[in-house]
Chains A and B, each alone.
Chain A
Amino acid sequence: MAAIAVFLVVEAVPALQANKGSFFTTLTWEPNGTQSFGIAALAFGTLVSAVLALVMAVPVAVGVALFISHYAPRRMAGVLGYVIDLLAAVPSVVYGLWGIVFLVPFMQGPSEFLNTYLGFIPLFGGDVVAGRSMLTASVVLAVMILPIIAAISREVFLQVPRMHEEAALALGATRWEVIRTAVLPFGRPGVISASMLGLGRAMGETIAVALIFPATFGISLEILTPQGNSIAANIANGFGEATPIGRGALIASGLVLFIITLLVNTAARMIVARRKEFSGAAA
């Protein structure tokens, strides 16, 4: 681990010294040409696309997991669980291809709809609407991370001790109330961990989003417009024809991605730990 880190830093430093722009604020990425590059737009795109993906994926994944663990008849639950596990194992390039072939043209219509009727919300604003947008990339990421979050959540929900569910039932809880009082609170740390795993995957995802992002270098919250990029996609797109400085710059961006991932995971751990005494671990 440490050796890898040292190697990466050594590779990155010359590029950072040669940078004519500011690594943190410059909104271009031309280490090969003008030798001016900055991480801001890439880091922004990485975070926004991953967070959007998470916001879309988690509720659906939790719903699917609950359906499998508490609503579906046993045989159906078995089949669905198997399907989810299978989907979780599909290589990301498949999701990327699905995104570019199907979703990009498909999203044009809904995007225009959102832009026309909800355009007053900055998120959906902008003049030009395109299929290859931040939103589309986020949807692909959401679909990609959904199975893994659902699979882990289902395991967690199935592990809720029977006696806690019976305690709720005996108080006169309906099935949904059992889920609210016993299942969800007990499963919360597990769902958070699963979501963080999904977020990490979404932020690190390379090929699926590299196919979809238009590889621009602006910072914009207008997720329907043809803009967007991410650290990982930028590395995938640029590494082949990079000069030594260009490679160093990309490696530096990789380090930033690594740090962001670490920070996000630490934050998640803190959220889980904060409620530890209420986690049921003591029971």
Chain B
Amino acid sequence: MSQQIQVSGLDAYYGKHKAIEDISMTIDPQSITAFIGPSGCGKSTFLRTLNRMHEVIPGARVEGKVLLDGEDLYAADVEPVSVRRMIGMVFQRPNPFPTMSIYENVAAGLRLNGRYAKSEVDGIVEDSLKGSNLWNEVKDRLNKPGAGLSGGQQQRLCIARAIAVKPEVLLMDEPCSALDPISTLAIEDLMAELKSKFTIIIVTHNMQQAARVSDRTAFFNLAGQGQPGRVIEMDDTSRIFTNPAQKATEDYITGRFG
């Protein structure tokens, strides 16, 4: 069900400003990849190019290739909408739909994708909430507003919403940065479980988190002041954190800059 991602020669722009340059990498199925790097180096920008969310910003555009299982997501005949259905996303700030109940939030993606019988939706909602370890906490109040949950619960609700449509890939942009340590651990455990079904990519500023959860790590940095961001180094997480090839990577993870 999860598939390999191959990126080659990818640049992304905001209007005339080139935010990231010449990014190439391969991401294996059923793995967790962490993106680390100083603020503003383009991690979020790159993540959003992977599900064609970058281009929803006025003036933003992308050059280069992203292959999902060999198919170019930026080919002329590919609909961004269908790309986003295959590649789900969890945002930095939990963003459940405020006008919807917990149940409706999880079912939101299904409502877009066509008709399901009520019993089918019930089943998917339950499975997704179980999948995001939220079921036990909310099963008695599925019709209450999603915005009434705690921050950590809201984030797990957003994860449930994302996995309900059964994507191949799950992109997470600093999913724990607004959460307390307990909720953070809950989400890290969850990622380890989800890995068996999805390819997961996570942006994080938390080195321990990257080290704990990911199989591979990519270190992003600016080529220089005012220059676009690039991938400096990408390797197995254990290697990046013990014996990185680049001096800049070592400086960053040991906290000597950034």
Listed in ascending order, the chain A residues whose CB lies under 8 Å from chain B are: 74, 161, 163-164, 166-174, 177, 181-182, 185-186, 188, 275, 277-283
Contact = CB atoms under 8 A, between A and B. Distances in A.
Contact of A172 (B91, B100, B109, B145): B109
Interface string B77-105: 00001111100110101011111110000
A166 to B, nearest CB: 7
Interface in B2-41: none
Given A167-B95, A170-B51, A277-B144, 6 more contacts: A167-B161, A168-B108, A172-B81, A181-B97, A185-B100, A278-B99
8 contacts: A163-B93, A172-B165, A174-B112, A177-B112, A181-B97, A185-B97, A283-B96, A283-B147
A166 B161 CA distance: 13
Contacts of B51: 170
Given A181-B111, A277-B148, A170 B97 contact: no
Contacts of A164: 95, 97-98
Contact of B112 (A161, A171, A279, A282): A171
Contact of B81 (A173, A181, A277, A279): A173
Contacts of A282: 98, 145, 147-148
Nearest to B58: A74
Given A166-B91, A170-B88, A279 B108 contact: no
Q: Give the bracket for the number of chain B residues in contact with chain A.
A: 20 to 34
Interface string B49-90: 001010010100000000000000000000001111100110
Interface of B: 51, 53, 56, 58, 81-85, 88-89, 91, 93, 95-101, 108-109, 111-113, 144-145, 147-148, 158, 161-162, 165
Contacts of B91: 163, 166-167, 170
A279 B95 contact: no
Given A163-B91, A163-B93, A166-B56, A171 B84 contact: yes
B108 A170 contact: no
Nearest to B89: A170
A119 to B, nearest CB: 39
